[in-house]
Amino acid sequence: MTALVVATRTFIREQVLPIDDAYDGDVDAAGGEQLRLRLQSMARAEKLLAPHGPVDLGGLGLTMSDRAPVFEEAGYSLFGPMAINVNAPDEGNIHLLDRVGSAAQRERYLRPLVTGTWRSAFAMTEPAPGAGSDPEALLTQAVKVDGGWLINGRKRFITGADGAGFLIVMARTGGEPGSAGRATMFLLPATVPGVTLERHVGTIDRSMLGGHCELTFTNVFVPDDDVLGGVDEGFNYAQVRLGPARMTHVMRWTGAAQRAHEVAVRYATERRAFGARLADLGMAQQLIADNEIDLAATRALLREACAQLDAGERASKATSITKAFAAEALNRVADRSVQLCGGLGVSRDPPVAKIARELRPFRIYDGPSEVHRWSIARRAAREYSALGSTR
């Protein structure tokens, strides 16, 4: 374990976890934005803030492979990723801005994000019939005007939008919904006229600061300087962001699932039934062993995907396989942990029900499992049909 991993582990377990447990992982109940600022100033004092951030802006510039154990330690507490500023969507936005932002955009948007001065949001999904599983259904339009662009549309499930300093908004700049066409990403300070926060969509999870919001954009003017990267490059940049962002979600949720598993195994070694410890009863052992297998397999897939990303590959197949497997495997780990703890498993006493609650949406965001399977299968059909007959 590197010194950074050890320091992150100590900080998260000693300083963050007690707050998370006291509030059952409910970030608003625990203090919301004030809590974020307090935890991040503690992390800053320990030199643990934004370890993935670019070096020129004060981060450590960790590779994907080096991030994995650090982010997993952060994920051990539901508030841990927020505390060290590696939470979604900021972490993915830092990655994207670092890759494609101009020098001026790095100063204006990336620097305050890395230092924790601002939070951000990433706005892609729309209510039906707009973009969801299928990004090509994108309806939000950006039309070129003198000196910039006018954006109109509606977005839903935009994590962290309430209280964000700025948004990255994906809008159509060519073609018709239902075809790939062209899309562009825009940087929008949250206070810009025409952006309305319509509501928080109530969801089962409670640990994400700023909620999951529905927003409307009405004739929002964005100057040319706030086009992120190139015009019409939006779908391309979405891939630049999504592959790594999916993997960092896997890292963080592995930490949470590991905690649920540890708690459940401890319960099983202490609780006695039918003349034995639960941990000595065959079917309970199966739950424990299957958790170990799912956690180990998730980490192995993650290592391979991170190695490919670090080698500069797009790693679409590896990240899709890892995301789909991990989202389901980690949900299984959380669910088995609930089961092993019996009635207490669904209570607020051990921290397993809250982890199961927070993990469930991961099978839907960053691409639902079915969409990843669809894309993995299409790729396999393409690859193997190109090989011709097997005889």
Residue nearest to ligand FAD (CB): 132
Stretch that binds ligand FAD, among 41-49, 54-62, 305-313, 358-366 (CB under 6 A): 358-366
Determine, following the binding rule CB under 6 A, whether residue 355 of this chain makes contact with ligand FAD: no
Q: Residue 253 CB, nearest distance to ligand FAD (Å)?
A: 12
Determine, following the binding rule CB under 6 A, whether residue 125 of this chain makes contact with ligand FAD: yes
Which among 122, 126, 96, 97 has a CA at the least distance from the CA of 110?
A: 97
Stretch that binds ligand FAD, among 27-35, 60-68, 123-131, 249-257 (CB under 6 A): 123-131
Q: Are 46 and 11 in contact (CB under 8 A)?
A: yes
Residue 281, Cβ density class (10 Å: 0-12 exposed, 13-18 middle, ≥19 buried): middle
Q: Residue 110 CB, nearest distance to ligand FAD (Å)?
A: 18
Complex with ligand FAD: residue 127 or 148, whichever CB lies closer: 127
| Residue 387: CB atoms within 10 Å | 7
Q: Name the token pair of 207.
A: 């640990």
Residue type, 108: R
Question: Is the sign of the CA dihedral 123, 126, 132, 134 positive or negative?
Answer: negative
Determine, following the binding rule CB under 6 A, whether residue 365 of this chain makes contact with ligand FAD: yes
Q: Residue 171 CB, nearest distance to ligand FAD (Å)?
A: 12
Complex with ligand FAD: residue 189 or 368, whichever CB lies closer: 368
Q: Which of 123, 185, 250, 268 binds ligand FAD (CB under 6 A)?
A: 123
Q: 308-317: which pairs have CB atoms within 8 A and are 24 or more residues apart? A: 309/64, 309/243, 309/244, 309/247, 310/63, 310/64, 310/65, 314/239, 314/243, 315/243, 316/239, 316/243, 316/375, 316/379, 317/376, 317/379
DSSP H or E stretch at residue 297: helix 282-310
Alpha-carbon gap, residue 344 to 266, rounded angstroms: 13
Q: Which of 157, 166, 217, 325 binds ligand FAD (CB under 6 A)?
A: 157
Determine, following the binding rule CB under 6 A, whether residue 237 of this chain makes contact with ligand FAD: no
Beta-carbon contacts of residue 185 (< 8 Å; ≥ 6 apart)? 96, 168, 169, 170, 227, 228, 229, 233, 234, 237, 238
Determine, following the binding rule CB under 6 A, whether residue 159 of this chain makes contact with ligand FAD: yes
Determine, following the binding rule CB under 6 A, whether residue 133 of this chain makes contact with ligand FAD: yes
Q: Name the token pair of 331.
A: 């949900």
Using DSSP, state whether 7 is helix, strand or coil.
helix
Which among 6, 234, 65 has a CA at the least distance from the CA of 140?
A: 234
Determine, following the binding rule CB under 6 A, whether residue 278 of this chain makes contact with ligand FAD: no
Complex with ligand FAD: residue 35 or 213, whichever CB lies closer: 213
Kind of pairing between the strands at 276-277 and 272-273: antiparallel
Stretch that binds ligand FAD, among 56-64, 153-161, 243-251, 325-333 (CB under 6 A): 153-161
Complex with ligand FAD: residue 125 or 254, whichever CB lies closer: 125
Stretch that binds ligand FAD, among 58-66, 189-197, 231-239, 365-373 (CB under 6 A): 365-373
Q: Which of residues 368-387 bind ligand FAD (CB under 6 A)?
A: 368, 370-371, 374
Q: Which of residues 37-56 bind ligand FAD (CB under 6 A)?
A: none
Binding site for ligand FAD (CB under 6 A): 89, 122-125, 132-133, 157-159, 203, 205, 212, 361, 364-365, 368, 370-371, 374
